Amino acid sequence: MDNKLLGLTIVVVAAFAVFMGFVFFSEPISKFIRASGINPPSTQNSLIFAWPLELPADGKTKSEITIFLRDNEGRGLQGHEVSIQSSIGSVQEGLLTTDSKGSAVFHLTSQTPGVAKIEALVDNTKLQRSITVQFE
């Protein structure tokens, strides 16, 4: 009877070990050994927001442009250089570094009425998404 109990215990422990192996190693092993922040930015998953989207062209009222830099899995990336380009108006900040959440905040003003197309560059690579702001 003790041999049956010992055999059953070995089978249960082996099954548990296999199960835990699948749980912890279902992701590529590189995910576990890669240092934080080494993932490359995703030009498709990164986001760009602006608020307000319509504002006076008085050269004083600011639209806040926020870039959320993400990797391929949607996690925020810290420590990457971000800049934005606008077809009209001027950006107060030049080059910013993303914070611990992967965000960088810029401010845009314009004295020229029209639609400003805003694009972001991350490590000298253009993001796929852009946004427009209306100056009236």
What digits encode the pLDDT tens for the residues 48-100? 999 999 999 999 999 999 999 999 888 899 999 999 999 999 999 989 999 99
Task: Tell me what the mean pLDDT of segment 40-55 comes to.
Answer: 93
Residues 72 and 16 in one domain: no
Which domain range does residue 22 map to?
2-33
Residues 65 and 93 in one domain: yes
Residue with tokens 């639609």: 115
Residues 123 and 65 in one domain: yes
In a domain, 57, yes or no: yes
Residues 58 and 118 in one domain: yes
Report percent pLDDT > 70 for the chain: 86
pLDDT at position 20, please? Answer: 72
Residues 16 and 60 in one domain: no
Cis check: omega of the bond before 41, within 30 degrees of 0: no
Task: Tell me what the mean pLDDT of segment 108-125 comes to.
Answer: 93
Residues 54 and 115 in one domain: yes
The total of structural domains in the chain comes to 2
∠ CA(44), CA(48), CA(52), 5° rounding?
155
